[in-house]
Amino acid sequence: MDKKIVAYFKSEDDLETAHAKLHKLNIKNYTAEEMPGDTDLEMLVPAPLVPNGASASVPAGGAGILKDDDSEGEEVVHRQLAQFEVPEDEVKDAMAILNEAGAHIHKSALE
């Protein structure tokens, strides 16, 4: 059975780096797009190295996770998302790739 994963990235470069590595897995139905402006950033947490059922320490989410300051100190929000399906036995590998790329996932994906 496949698990649907939605990952959020600060930049398109981070998204593309993760995408290139995810292709080593058996992902299906991959799409990438700009994140909708109404996404609840408080519900996003860093992608864990150890998902589902294992004891992973996951920091609290928050609106600051996908924000940077530009050269003038102005806050800039980068909102890129990728959605895909991956076989259950490859979820751990997918999460490791997402973690390495600095991706965030919705807290509900950890349940």
The domain ranges of the chain are: 20-49+61-110
d(CA 12, CA 15) in angstroms, rounded, equals: 5
Higher pLDDT, 98 or 68: 98
d(CA 2, CA 95) in angstroms, rounded, equals: 14
Question: What DSSP character marks residue 35?
Answer: P
Cβ-contact 47, 105 below 8 angstroms: yes
Report the chain's terminal Cα–Cα distance, integer Å. Answer: 16
Task: Please state which of the ranges 29-33, 75-79, 102-106 shows the lowest mean pLDDT.
Answer: 75-79
d(CA 29, CA 83) in angstroms, rounded, equals: 8
Hey, what are 7's tokens? 């990952």
Q: What is the mean pLDDT of residues 75-94?
A: 85
Per-chain mean pLDDT for the chain: 79
pLDDT of residue 57: 44
Higher pLDDT, 74 or 96: 96
pLDDT of residue 15: 94
What pTM was computed for the model?
Answer: 0.76
Hey, what are 44's tokens? 């996003």
Task: Reply yes or no on whether the pLDDT at 43 is more than 70.
Answer: yes
